[in-house]
Structure 1
Amino acid sequence: MEKVNSYEMWLTVVNQQKPLLLFVKTDHCSVCDGLFPQVAALQVDYPISFYMVNIARVPEISGQLSLFSAPVVLLFNKGKEYARFARFVQMSELKYRITELIEWGKDID
């Protein structure tokens, strides 16, 4: 999972128009630390880009994406937010939405 180190980097990434997942975490967050390996493991099964940002280090993203807690998992397609999962993420629902995003993208291209 690639790290987003600045808001400018995030703008470049999201404007590439490709489906992607953004995992948002913060410092000293046990829920973030527990969820991260589960989400990171999905990279093997899904052909989308995975990114991670620590909002304690890049606080601009928090304001720009209206993030009020952590962890948050965001799915994007063509520069637009597609789905949002906050705090307690059900992995089955996340997998379903990633699959849906991939299939939806195939229909449009």
Structure 2
Amino acid sequence: MKIEYFKNDKCNVCKAMLPKIQTIAKNFDIDIEVIDIIENPSYPAQKLVFTVPTVIILDEEFEIKRFARNFSISEVINTIERYLEISKK
């Protein structure tokens, strides 16, 4: 499982959310990749990321869930917990 976090350094919401997403990744032992859309514009374009912050949760390169712009930390946690529970069965 992996988290891709798309951000822009001028986005204050991105700055506030990043430590929270990093904590989630650490707590669930999930790899996280932080992508700045200004420094690396081609990758977000390939992933169809049009706004920041965007969080994409992947499992073996398959997208499980995407959160963009307006989302809560609890939504991210619930999605990860639910997927981990389902994948155990």
Corresponding position of 1:60:
42
Task: Give unmatched runs, 5+ long, in structure 1.
Answer: 1-18
CA offsets 1:16-72 (integer angstroms, 9 cap, x no match): xxx111111013111101111111111332022111111111111121000110000
Corresponding position of 1:21:
3
Q: Report the Cα distance in structure 2 between the residues aligned to 1:78 and 1:106, rounded to whole angstroms.
A: 16
Q: Identity over aligned residues, as a percent?
A: 26
Corresponding position of 2:33:
51
How much is the aligned-residue C-alpha RMSD, in angstroms? Answer: 1.3
Corresponding position of 2:77:
95
In the TM superposition, what is the alpha-carbon distance from 1:95 to its structure 2 partner?
Answer: 0.1
Secondary structure of the residue aligned to 1:73 is strand
Q: Report the Cα distance in structure 2 between the residues aligned to 1:105 and 1:58, rounded to whole angstroms.
A: 32
TM-score (norm 2): 0.89
> Residue 33 and residue 25 in structure 1: after superposition, are their counterparts in 2 closer, same or farther (change >3 A)?
same
C-alpha contact 2:9 2:15 (8 A) present in aligned 1: no
Corresponding position of 1:70:
52
Corresponding position of 1:31:
13
How many residues align? The count is: 89
TM-score (norm 1): 0.74
